[in-house]
Amino acid sequence: MYSILVCDDEKDIVSALKIYLMADGYQVFEAYNGKEALEVLKEQDIHLVLMDIMMPEMDGIAAMVKIRETSNVPVILLTAKSEDTDKVLGLTVGADDYITKPFNPIEVQARVKSQLRRYMQLGGGAIRKDVLSIGGIELDDRSKEVSLDGEKISLTRTEYDILKLLMEHPGEVFSPNQIYEQVWQDNPYGTENTVAVHIRHLREKVEYNPAEPRYLKVVWGRGYKMEGQV
């Protein structure tokens, strides 16, 4: 049984999410601010976190930063704001996805299943032994390590998966929806901005000049591709 931590300062939202998730067979733990969420993560074996951004004492962004210091557990952020700033900031500090309130229960359940599937496949699936190299980028799927011109670089799990997908198909253009479907293993729910944010931060790590990328190229109106000598 997978364990999910639901963290939101609105108890009605926590209760509603708990009902939806328990109906799918998950064990659900509750927290009402970032500090409580961190305590639960220390004491319980949690497989996924659903966490609000705006909370008292410690907000979701601050908690997200602390979580990523020690754990790669999937985190889906909840935000009541329509602005993109909170969403982008959440992805920047390591969130895997976000859902905007008011949310559709079916969407929540689908996103949770998708993230759990990816998380468990990464941790328990068969590990491939190939090493991918394009230009100065090398991706070792055995150790899940990526290096640029011999220097190891740190990627989030999502950034790693996107880079691996593009490196496995050099020169091939992938639309944002195709990337989302392949990497998140789910049907896209208007997720073009999610993919764009991850690509931007991936560029900042694998490109010496992100404004003039050598490897991660955009094909306007179509998507993204990996260029460079294999």
For the stretch 29-70, pLDDT in tens is 999 999 999 999 999 989 999 999 999 999 999 999 999 888
Same domain, 10 and 120: yes
Residues 180 and 73 occupy one common structural domain: no
Q: Tell me how many domains the chain contains.
A: 2
Question: Residue 103 has what pLDDT?
Answer: 86
Which of these three, 98, 124, 150, is where a domain ends? 124
> Residue 168 is part of which domain span?
131-226
Q: Are residues 104 and 217 in the same domain?
A: no
| pLDDT confidence of residue 157 | 92
Residues 41, 92: one domain? yes
Which whole number is the average pLDDT over 196-207? 94
Q: Are residues 135 and 27 in the same domain?
A: no
pTM above 0.85, yes or no: no
Together in a domain, 110 and 139: no
75, with CB counted inside 10 A (0-12, 13-18, 19+), is buried
- pLDDT reading at 125 higher than 80: no
- 9 and 58 assigned to the same domain: yes
- The tens digit of pLDDT for each residue in 140-198 reads 888 889 988 788 999 999 999 999 999 999 999 999 999 999 999 887 666 678 999 99
pLDDT at 126 over 70: no
Can you tell me the distance from the alpha carbon of 55 to that of 80, in angstroms, rounded to the nearest whole number? 11
- Residue 48 region, left (φ>0) first, then alpha (ψ -120 to 50), else beta? beta
User: Which residues, 6 or more positions from 50, have their beta carbon under 8 angstroms from its beta carbon?
Assistant: 4, 5, 6, 7, 8, 17, 76, 78, 108, 112
Provide the CATH number for the domain around residue 73.
Answer: 3.40.50.2300
CATH number of residue 147's parent domain: 1.10.10.10
Domain end position, chosen among 124, 158, 181: 124
* Same domain as 74, residue 28: yes
